[in-house]
Amino acid sequence: MFRAKLISFMSLMLLGVIAVCCISGSSANRNVYRNVGPYKWRLDGWPSNREPGFKARISQNGLDFLRDVGIHMLQTKIQQLTIPDIHGKADVKVGHIYYDVTKMHITTFSIPSATLTTNPTAGGLTLKTSGVSIKVHGDWHYSTHGFIHISDSGSFDAGANSITLTVTLRIGVDATGRPSISSQASDCSFSVGGLDIKLHGGASWLYNLFDHDIGNAIKDSLNSQICSTVVDEVNGSLEDELKTLQVIAPVEDIIEIDYSLVESPSFNGSINTAHKGEVYPLGNKTECPLPVPQIPPDSDVSRMVFIWITEYLPNSAGYVLQNIGFLQYNVTPDNVPAEEKYLLNTSNFALDLLIPQINKMYPNMAMQINVNSTKAPVVKVASTGVQAVLVGDFTPYAILPNKTLAYLFTLSVTISSKVTVNFTSNNITWNISSFSTTMKAVHSAVGPFFTSALQLAVNTAIKAELVPKLNQLGAVGVPLPQLEGFNFTKPVVSLGEGFLKIGTDLTYTP
């Protein structure tokens, strides 16, 4: 019975020491930390001599996938296009013929072959298509205004093959750190070399005299209308889609993860991006002074997307949580379940076997335990594995009859754990595979005691209660930014010195 009670009590103690960085808890002091460090600052607040905490790459394989998705979207969009009516005049042997071409719409638009490649000169991507075919249906009407008035009407079908379409997408970064995309009229070319037109209905002997005039008018309209639609789509829908990309991700209304771009992407066979990869207090952009590990050059293009995350990201989170006072938790009789209140009692806690003087000095009194992280949690990533270390104080008090607190002792606990990292459902997930603890008495108002006597209880409490709670949170993980409809698939996680690398392919669901 005593051992079970001791384990339960130590679980409450260590809950604040380890899990408060991931589990919501109360905090007595959340002061915003001050800016520290001898850094040269850019106008956007990012120190110019720092490495990005987060990098990403879209390889040519990824561009090919995005091309296929984009082509499907473009074909759907263009087939919904309504072509403006055309009104013109043709001079034929019988006189002037005035014609109207109306209700035109595209029935088929096919892009059988296309390439999407990086364009370093334009700072973006270039889409080139070949063998494009298009079919258009509409109505026609003509009339003559000569001595003899003639008018007629019918429908037509027009088609063209071997059309070329080239579009350049200029990609940069906006003021919020999101990627931006744009195209100019000069970035698009659409060429219909020849158009076959068949007019139905009416007097064939007459409309054969001017069908080439209608064909040329339709071709000219298509040449201008398609590029106008493509440029509008890029500057409209695609740019609006990028504006929905979440580059600031709030967590528990306390901190936020900043994935924003720190510079424009680079284009050299692949798209390479550099991101802040930092955690801030919610609504506060004060920079963390910790060093950012350098991500070494890596030419890997075997997967569609690559993501490099430095240990700076979790360490900046630990720094923030430590400095805003979030890693503090007071265990009192008021914030434990009713069935566990008896544990916070100097007598019922049954410390007689370990620290019997507490029960003698303060018999049958309620207790309060203050748990406080004394150092920011540290995550160390190496090729051999991931290690997380947390150091905290455990300070119990006896609650006297007048509601004041009688200090008992302070115990320092260092917990070092080995962590495995995975990537599941677009989230970075983790699992604590093993841990070790060291303990020492910092100060005591109840005389000397052996901390080694508490070691088994502490380890048992961690294994029984804290590790499952942390691993439950780890199974949910932390989401990475993504565009709606796109999902990561078949991810592979590898470790380097100071960073982890994720290689993944993509799927798309409209």
Instruction: Indicate the pTM of the whole model.
Output: 0.77
Burial of 373 (0-12, 13-18, 19+ CB in 10 A): buried
Measured CA to CA, the distance from residue 75 to residue 68 in angstroms comes to: 11
Residue 272 lies in a domain: no
CA distance readout (Å), 200 to 94, 139, 140, 158, 192:
21, 9, 9, 11, 22
Query: Tokens 């019922």 — which residue?
Result: 348
The domain that holds 334 is classified in CATH as: 3.15.20.10
Looking at the 3D structure of the chain, how many domains does it have? 2
Angstrom CA distances, 269 to 61, 70, 91, 287, stand at 10, 19, 53, 33
Type of residue numbered 314: P
In a domain, 48, yes or no: no
Please report, for the chain, how many H helices and E strands are present, in that order: 9, 26
CATH of the domain at 232: 3.15.10.10
Is residue 54 included in any domain, yes or no? no
Q: How far apart are the first and last CA of the chain?
A: 59
354/466 same-domain check: yes
Let me know whether 73 and 195 are in one domain.
yes
* Residue 105 counted as domain residue: yes
Residue 87 and residue 99 in contact, taking contact as beta carbons nearer than 8 Å: yes
Instruction: Print the domain residue range for 83.
Output: 62-243
pLDDT in tens, the chain (510 residues): 323 322 222 232 322 222 222 222 223 232 222 233 333 333 344 454 568 999 999 999 999 999 998 888 878 888 887 788 888 887 766 667 788 889 988 999 898 889 999 999 999 999 999 888 989 999 988 887 766 677 888 888 988 887 888 999 999 999 889 999 999 999 999 888 778 888 888 765 566 666 777 777 888 877 878 888 889 989 998 888 888 887 888 887 888 989 899 999 999 999 999 999 999 998 888 888 899 999 999 999 999 999 999 999 999 999 998 998 888 888 888 877 787 777 778 876 556 667 888 888 999 899 898 888 899 999 999 999 999 999 999 888 999 999 999 999 998 999 999 999 988 877 888 899 999 999 999 999 999 888 876 777 677 767 876 788 788 888 888 777 667 788 888 889 999 999 999 999 999 988
Distance of CA 258 to the CA centre of its chain: 9
Distance of alpha carbon 43 from alpha carbon 168, whole angstroms:
30
For residues 69 and 22, membership in a common domain is answered with: no
Distance CA 442, CA 449 (A): 11
Helices 452-461 and 2-18: crossing angle, nearest 10°? 70
Question: Is 66 found in the same domain as 26?
Answer: no
In whole angstroms, give the CA distance from residue 44 to residue 399.
50
User: By 3-state DSSP, what share of the chain in percent is helix, strand and coil, each rounded to 5?
Assistant: 25, 40, 30
C-alpha R_g of the chain: 35
CA distance linking residue 19 with residue 473, whole number of Å = 10
The token pair at 372 is: 């406080």
Instruction: State which of 193, 210, 243 marks the end of a domain.
Output: 243
DSSP state of 186: G
User: Which residue in 305, 314, 242 sits closest to 273, CA to CA?
Assistant: 305
Q: Are the beta carbons of 419 and 432 closer than 8 angstroms?
A: yes
Whether residues 375 and 420 share a domain: the answer is yes
Q: Is residue 236 domain-resident?
A: yes
The answer to whether residues 225 and 77 belong to one domain is yes
CA distance 461 to 14: 8
* Beta bridge mates, 275: 54, 261
346 & 214 share domain: no
For residues 21 and 113, membership in a common domain is answered with no
- Which residue type occupies 349? F
Length of the chain counted residue by residue: 510
Q: Are strands 95-110 and 86-92 parallel, antiparallel or unpaired?
A: antiparallel
Q: Both 89 and 218 in a single domain?
A: yes
Residue 237 is given by DSSP the state: I
Backbone angles phi, psi at 291, to 5 degrees: -70, 150
Which residue is listed with tokens 């339960």? 8
11 and 155 fall within a common domain: no
Which pair of structure tokens corresponds to residue 392? 């905290």
Q: Is 208 a domain residue? A: yes
The verdict on 231 and 126 lying in the same domain is yes
* Residue 410, in any domain of the structure: yes
**Could you say which of 243, 266, 300 is where a domain stops?**
243
Q: Which residues contact 497 (CB under 8 A, 6 or more apart)?
A: 293, 381, 382, 383
Pairing of strands 95-110, 113-119: unpaired
Same domain, 70 and 146: yes
3-state secondary structure 72-139: HHHHHHHHCCEECCEEEEEEECCEEEEEEEEEEEEEEEECCEEEEEEECCCCEEEEEEEEEEEEEEEE
Q: Is residue 457 part of a domain?
A: yes
Q: Are 163 and 228 in contact (CB under 8 A)?
A: no
